[in-house]
Structures are given as C-alpha cells and as structure tokens.
Amino acid sequence: MNGLIFPGQGSQIVGMGKELYEKLPNAAVLPDRANQVLGYDLKKLMFEGAQEQLTDTRYAQPAIYTCSAMYLEKIKSDGLLYDYVAGHSLGEYDALLAAGVFNFETGLKLVSARGEAMSQMNGKGTMAAVMGLKEEELIQYLNSDVVMANLNSKTQIVISGTEAGVDAVGHKLAGKDWVKFKKLRVSAAFHSPQMARAAEIMKGVIENTELKKPVCSVICNVTGKPTTDLAEIKTNLIAQITGQVRWYDTILAMKNAGVSRLYEVGYGDVLKKMNKTITFRPKCVGLVI
C-alpha cells in the first residue's frame, strides 16, 4: 500500500519545479495557471528568484503548493495508486489536492490567503528545533510564551513562541551536551497561539470554500489520524494554523494502516530525512524525474 507525503514551508528554493516544467507537459501548465490566479509572475519567482522574495511567507506558500502540485502530476503520469495522503503543515493543502478535496485553483486561492494572513504576524515570534529530548522531557523547560509546534519524531521537536520565550528555553538547555537547540530562520511563531488572528481570517475563508469528500484517507496534522470526513477535515485545517503538526503520529498512522512505501511529493527530500528519525517507519522514497 502506498502513501503520499508533501513538504511544507522551508523547502522553497530558486529553480524548484523547473526540471518538471521542462519535461512534463501536465506539470508545465500549472505555474501559468497560478500566474492567472495570483496576478503576479509566480513562475518567474520559482525559477529565477530572488530567493529573499521566495522565502517571504506570502510568496513561499503559493510557490511550494504549486511546485508540489507539479510533482503530483508526475505521480499521476506514472499511474501510481495511493490510499493515504498527508502533508507537513502547508503540505496538507497539497495532500487535500491529491485527495480530490479541491482543484488546483481552489487550493491555490486558499494557500495564497493563508500566506497573506500568516505574514501579518511577521516579526512577532520565532521557532527553534530541539533534538535529544522527548515530549514529556521537553515540557519542563518551556514557559507560558512557548509551545511545542512540530512533533517530528520522538526526540525532534520544534518549539514556537515569543523571541524572549524561545531564547529562555535555549538558555535553560545550554550546557546539556545531549541536547541540540537551533533557532530557525522563520519570520513568525507558526503553529502557536500567536497565529490566532491568522486562524480567524482563514476560518472564514475555509468555511466559505466548497470542498468535496476525499477519494482517499487524509491524515490531518493536528490529530495524526486518518479521516475521510469532510467536516472534520475543515475543522482540522482551521485548527492547524495555531495547532501542532503531529508528524510522528502521522507516519505511525500510515504504518498502522498498512502503508509500506511513502512517496515524498515535492522538491527535495526534507521529509525523507526527517522520517529516518522515526522508528518502524514505512520506506520513504523520492520521485525519479
């Protein structure tokens, strides 16, 4: 049984998707369709940069969504069948595209709105990766301004919160040789209560968007459990903005469902590398272009 997984923000890089654009006609049409929806030249930004603009949340999210949608066309052209889909944070929108919950243009409009809403929080927080502590161990070092945002594996957790709050956690962990603490290059405290305003904005957008029942099981970030219930998917998609990315649970849910092979559908191999830290994971492979 096959599962598809889609990367999130942070996987953007100038040139992503260009090889597919040049080789696969069904994928090549998507950046042009994106340009029409967005009203700016996303294709040029993806293929030529500048990297600084591509890193901006407002542009990064539509670019990553479009790039992963191009890779999804490769999956389709190869005739690969799949029963489960999931995406890391932003990647959940590509997972829903793969599940037939919406078409490319509808998903792009949602992602563009999400990027705009979340960019309003720029400069109001930060995130850091903590490696070497389990969830129940890390919690004692947190403070009221910091939450666990991404549970990527048993001992790889991303925290999110105010600049001062995250720095305070780093100071508490300093000197512990078995723990690695690394602040991330992000513009805001994603997947934390600081995203409440963005979640409020997206609640209205998502609730007013027509979605279709998925054709396969979707594993949502905030639960780490598979579902085909459309109402639940909508609720979880809204909650995801301030809630956790339970990636460890997601991969275990894939395994428990009988998925033996995962395909990372998008540019790079960030999820493949991340999954190597999860015990008893299904084998994760990339796509041959």
Sign of torsion, CA 93 95 99 100? Answer: positive
Q: Which of 88, 160, 187, 191 is catalytic?
A: 191
**Is 88 annotated as catalytic?**
no
Pick the catalytic residue from 89, 112, 153, 217: 89
Give the β-pairing of 2-6 and 261-264.
Answer: parallel
Burial class for 63, CB neighbours closer than 10 Å (0-12, 13-18, 19+) = buried
Q: 37: which 2 tokens?
A: 């929806």
Two tokens, residue 86? 């999931």
Q: And the tokens for 65? A: 């969504």
The dihedrals phi and psi of 226, each to the nearest 5 degrees, come to -75, 145
Cα separation, 124 vs 274, in Å, equals 27
Which residue do the tokens 């944070």 mark?
89
Whether 274 contacts 153, CB under 8 Å: yes
- First-to-last alpha carbon distance for the chain, in angstroms, is 22
Q: Are 97 and 69 in contact (CB under 8 A)?
A: yes
Is 187 an active-site residue? Answer: no
Coil, helix or strand for 171?
A: helix
Estimate to the nearest angstrom the gap between the alpha carbon of 182 and the chain centroid.
19
Which uninterrupted H or E stretch holds 253?
helix 247-256
Answer positive or negative: Cα dihedral of 93, 195, 109, 57.
Answer: negative
Active site residues: 89, 191
